[in-house]
Amino acid sequence: MLERLHQILIKEFIHLFRDRRARFALIIPPLLQMLIFGYAATYEVNHLSTAVIDLDHSQEGREFLARFTSSNRFQVRAILTDQSQIADLIDHRRVVLVLQIHPGFAALLRKGQTAPVQALLDGTDSNTALIAIGYINQVATKYSEDYQLERAGRLLPAAMHFAPRIRLEERPMYNPNLESRWFFVPGVIGTLLLLSVITLTAFAVVREREIGTLEQLMVTPITPAEVIIGKTMPFLIVGLGNLIVVSIAGTLWFQIPFRGSPFVLLLGTILFLSSALGVGLLISTLCTTQQQAFSLGFFYVTPAIMLSGFGYPVQSMPEALRLVTYLDPLRFFLVVLRSTFLKGVGLEVLWPQMVAMALLGAGALTLATLRFHKTLD
């Protein structure tokens, strides 16, 4: 048996690396995708195209707007003189934010009253709008605090030494600068592994069936179980190789720390790849052409990424979808990736994710094997 498996593995690796396009697809696309997704996938919003309109023309208004022009979060592209210009700028996407200071802004501040400032945002991109509102509130709150302290210092300088204050001391754990790239890059590693392994495995058996070599293979003394193992093992090794390549790219290029144990990451990857291999093999048994395999693989991968918590918290999804996510091995693998990279935790914390991936992998491989036997019969 071992000798037959050895020969099948040699055959698969020769077939895999003989194709120039396959060699290129194994190395270059994962690296390019890591670089592209690593820069593109982020919650941070910088250089937000902004227009300002100051109808108060006061020193306070200019100081308030200066807080925005000095921040890299905002990029002032237009200074308006009339409110009628606002709609045209937003409709043509020249700006996504307009800050408007109403007349009497400074007078209200000098009286110690609340001075409203209007922020008009393009709500078609709700995520960017919500993040921009958070940035605006931070700038407005800081300006308000500084103005109140300065005003109190002028009116009651002696009392300033006894004025009670509350200072929030922030201490983000595992990600001191709250860089969203530290959250996304480990997620990109998981999604790239899923995509590559599903695609390779789904095409493997279908390609054999299209060119007629699968029937020739089955008339040999090789058993169906040996065929399945021989078809999946090379892609498991390829998946582990891709993990090493993209992980090195993530840690060296994007400076993502790796604080955990390589053994824990390796174990989690093997369990995850077993699930992906089972799904890919099941897809291959359901399809007769490579085009069908590509379409069905895409149909599986897209929801798997969306429901995994890659970009959106699982906890914010409806209850019915949260139950569906328990069938998604990528959900558990992303927890393992982010925890080993950023937190440095071990099996004493990650064992529930490991057990879940083991169960999903066993189920997927079992279904794929039964389906494979049925198609041969």
Of 290 and 182, the structure prediction assigns the larger pLDDT to 182
Over residues 165-174, the mean pLDDT reads: 75
- 76 DSSP β-pair partners: 50
Architecture of the domain whose range is 48-162: 3-Layer(aba) Sandwich (3.40)
Structure confidence at residue 236 (pLDDT): 84
Helices of type H across the chain: 2-18, 20-40, 59-69, 86-91, 105-110, 126-155, 180-211, 213-218, 224-253, 262-286, 290-306, 319-325, 329-338, 347-376
Of 135 and 27, the structure prediction assigns the larger pLDDT to 135
The full set of domain ranges for the chain reads 11-42+179-376, 48-162
pLDDT tens sequence across 223-256: 666 677 777 787 888 888 888 888 888 888 888 8
Cα dihedral across residues 272, 275, 279, 285: positive or negative: positive
Q: What is the token pair recorded at 290?
A: 């490579």
- Distances 204 to 141, 263, 338 between C-alpha atoms, Å: 59, 29, 31
**Is pLDDT above 60 for 375?**
no
**Is pLDDT above 90 for 358?**
yes
Average pLDDT of every residue of the chain: 82
pLDDT tens sequence across 92-147: 888 999 999 999 988 888 888 888 899 999 888 888 888 889 889 988 988 888 88
